[in-house]
């Protein structure tokens, strides 16, 4: 089986639990370190799927790899190779597929509860991972948001960010993070002061590091179950040759 290409855009936002899931299912993967200057591949032929992780930049920044990544996403979609994006990765997918990325009304940082939309696509992706209230636990760390690209279906919405996840056939774009580990949360919290500078008082959508730590023991297992479900559906589309 060809490996999944995992694009890392900053050292602190690696594949996290996504890599753990792939290893558990004996699916090979290759890390492409955009943050270290590794070039975007010019073809999807060596891969069975694409995964794009988060990062601190905007997809609207004039960086050459952004346009190259969008072109590769379009090539993957045209060729039927599954694409999955986390936060910045979901924004890259939206931009590549005809959507827009704009400033969100508020920053979202920390644990959050989002709503699973009612649609056949949502049922396919979430199945038994959603409770009767159709609520799901996710992690947030973003200031921008994407629009749902043409032909895609929104799967998740939130009180502070309307578009939290979309699907287009086998492709899954997320504004939220489901790949988080406890160690990643602790690392990101080292930059919390810079992220929240000028936010006084803190909006309801932003948690303090202490709040995140307090909620992690209960929230992380719930998000693991959600990630397992989403990733399990996503890997069904991988070519197994």
Q: Answer whether residue 203 is part of any domain.
A: yes
How far apart (Å, rounded) are the C-alpha atoms in residues 152 and 90?
Answer: 12
How far apart (Å, rounded) are the C-alpha atoms in residues 216 and 56?
Answer: 23
Q: How many domains does the chain have?
A: 1
Q: Answer whether residue 87 is part of any domain.
A: yes
pTM score, whole prediction: 0.97
Q: Answer whether residue 215 is part of any domain.
A: yes
Query: pLDDT for 169-226, tens place per residue?
Result: 999 999 999 999 999 999 999 999 999 999 989 999 999 999 999 999 999 999 999 9
What is the per-residue pLDDT for 130?
Answer: 72
> Does residue 240 carry a pLDDT above 80?
no
Q: Answer whether residue 240 is part of any domain.
A: no
Q: Answer whether residue 122 is part of any domain.
A: yes
The residues facing 102 across adjacent strands are 145
Q: Answer whether residue 202 is part of any domain.
A: yes
Give the CATH number, domain containing residue 119.
3.40.50.880
Domain range holding 54? 4-235
Q: Which tokens belong to 165?
A: 């996840």
What is the per-residue pLDDT for 90?
Answer: 98
What is the per-residue pLDDT for 61?
Answer: 98
Sheet holding 4-8, edge to edge: 29-33, 4-8, 49-52, 83-86, 171-174, 165-168, 153-157, 101-116, 135-146
- Stretch 41-46: mean pLDDT: 97
Q: Answer whether residue 225 is part of any domain.
A: yes
> Does residue 35 carry a pLDDT above 90?
yes
Residue 38 phi/psi, 5° resolution?
-65, 135
Residue 44 phi/psi, 5° resolution?
-95, 0
Query: pLDDT for 70-109, tens place per residue?
Result: 999 999 999 999 999 999 999 999 999 999 999 999 999 9
Q: Answer whether residue 241 is part of any domain.
A: no
């Amino acid at each position: 089986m060809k490996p999944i290409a995992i694009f890392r855009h900053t050292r602190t936002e690696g594949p996290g639990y996504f890599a753990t899931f792939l290893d558990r299912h004996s699916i090979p993967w290759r890390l492409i370190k955009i943050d270290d200057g590794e070039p975007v591949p010019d073809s999807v032929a060596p891969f069975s799927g694409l995964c794009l992780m988060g990062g601190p930049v905007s997809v609207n920044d004039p960086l050459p790899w952004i346009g190259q990544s969008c072109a590769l996403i379009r090539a993957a979609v045209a060729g039927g190779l599954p694409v999955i994006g986390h936060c910045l990765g979901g924004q890259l997918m939206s931009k590549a597929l005809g959507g827009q990325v704009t400033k969100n009304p508020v920053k979202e940082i920390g644990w959050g509860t989002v709503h699973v939309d009612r649609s056949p696509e949502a049922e396919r992706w979430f199945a038994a991972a959603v409770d009767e209230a159709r609520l799901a636990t996710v992690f947030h760390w973003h200031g921008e948001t994407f629009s749902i690209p043409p032909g895609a279906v929104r799967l998740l919405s939130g009180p502070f960010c309307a578009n939290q996840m979309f699907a287009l056939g086998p492709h899954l774009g997320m504004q939220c993070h489901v790949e988080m580990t406890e160690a990643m949360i602790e690392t990101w919290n080292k930059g919390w002061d810079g992220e929240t500078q000028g936010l006084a008082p803190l909006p309801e959508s932003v948690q303090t590091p202490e709040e995140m730590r307090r909620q992690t023991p209960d929230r992380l297992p719930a998000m693991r179950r959600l990630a397992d479900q989403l990733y399990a559906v996503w890997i069904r589309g991988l070519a197994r040759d």
